[in-house]
Amino acid sequence: MPASRSPTAASTSSLFNSSTSFGAKQLISILTIASLVAVLIPSPLIFVSAVSTTPNNNNYNNNNNNNKMHTPETRTLATLVESVNCRNDDDIPLSFDMQLKPRELANIDCQSWIELSIPGDGATVEVPFVTPNQFPNNGPPSVLMTINGRYAGDSGVQMDTGSTGITIGKGTWLEWFNGNWSEAVKYERGWKFLSSSKKLYSGHWVPTTLVFHGKSENGTRTDLLKAVVPVLVFDTYYICPKFTNDQGSVCTAPTDQKTGNITGLYMGVGFGREQDGMIMCTPDKNPLLNVYEVNGQNVAGQNNTNKYHLGYIVRSDSLVWGLTSANINGFRWMSLQKQPNATDYRDWAMATLQVSINNGKFRSGSILADTGVTQMYLSSPDVPIPIPPSYKINLKIPDVQGSLGGYVVTAKRVGKNKTAESSIPETAPAYVGATNTAGIVSGPGGGVYERVFVNTGSRFWNGFEAAFDAAGGHWGVLEKTTS
Residues 6+ apart with CB under 8 A from 39: none
CA gyration radius, the chain: 22
What is the SS3 assignment for 63? Answer: coil
The single-letter DSSP state of residue 27 is: H
Between CA 413 and CA 262 the distance in angstroms is: 36
Domain assignments of the chain as residue spans, ordered by start: 10-15+122-307, 20-121+330-335, 351-479
User: What pLDDT sits at residue 91?
Assistant: 29
Between CA 333 and CA 309 the distance in angstroms is: 15
User: What pLDDT sits at residue 196?
Assistant: 76
Residue 30 has phi, psi (to 5 degrees) of: -60, -45
Between CA 339 and CA 350 the distance in angstroms is: 9
Between CA 6 and CA 157 the distance in angstroms is: 9
Contact 335, 106 (CB under 8 A): no
Between CA 237 and CA 239 the distance in angstroms is: 7
Residues 414-420: contacts with CB within 8 Å, 24+ apart? 414/389, 420/376
Residue 321 has phi, psi (to 5 degrees) of: -100, 135
Q: Which fold has domain 351-479?
A: Cathepsin D, subunit A; domain 1 (2.40.70)
Between CA 76 and CA 465 the distance in angstroms is: 23
User: What pLDDT sits at residue 158?
Assistant: 97
* Element at 135 (helix H, strand E): none
Query: What is the DSSP pairing of strand 265-269 with strand 432-436?
Result: unpaired
Contact 207, 188 (CB under 8 A): no
**pLDDT digit of tens for each residue in the chain (483 aa)?**
654 444 544 333 434 443 323 233 333 333 333 333 333 333 333 233 233 333 444 434 433 333 333 333 434 444 444 444 433 333 223 232 323 333 333 333 444 688 888 877 799 999 999 987 899 999 999 999 999 999 999 999 999 999 999 999 999 999 999 999 999 999 999 999 988 788 999 999 999 999 999 999 898 999 999 999 999 999 999 999 988 888 889 998 999 999 999 999 999 999 999 877 788 999 999 999 999 999 999 998 878 888 999 999 999 999 999 999 999 999 999 999 999 889 999 999 999 999 999 999 999 999 999 999 999 999 999 999 999 999 999 999 999 989 999 999 999 999 999 999 999 999 999 999 999 999 866 666 556 578 899 999 999 999 999 999 999 999 999 999 764
What global pTM score does this model have?
Answer: 0.80
Instruction: Please list the alpha-helical segments (H only) found in 215-363.
Output: none
* Element at 210 (helix H, strand E): strand 199-215
